[in-house]
Amino acid sequence: MFRKTKKIVDSVCAILGWTGGGIHKRIDENRELMELLQHDGFLDRYPWVEGWLRSQDEFLSTLLAAVPIQNGLFMGATRGGVPFPRPWPKEIRKPTAPQERREEDAG
């Protein structure tokens, strides 16, 4: 039983470390996508997408914390001195002004 369990854990660790760039890369690209969508106004039109990306980030980050990955493509990497994966982006969207909201609600 122990050998079978170890084989499964080793397989999961290999997948998380290497497949598609590994979990570190998946987390970073999810956060990069969030940054891009903030800049083009997409999230102003479709705000629920932020929830999708945030829940994906939470799932991947929790998985990374739970599984003991020893080797991976981007483990311990930095990009220009910034840790990899990048942190979750700060909100940069400007809130809609009260007058604009009233006009939208009326229409």
Dist CA 27 CA 23 (whole Å):
6
Q: Which residue has the higher pLDDT, 105 or 57?
A: 57
Tell me the per-residue pLDDT of 20-52, one tens digit each, with 9 for 90 and over. Answer: 999 999 999 999 999 999 988 899 999 999 999
Residue 102: band (very low, low, confident or very high) from pLDDT cuts 50, 70, 90 = very low
List of residues 6+ apart from 55 with CB closer than 8 A:
none
What is residue 73's predicted lDDT score, i.e. its pLDDT? 86
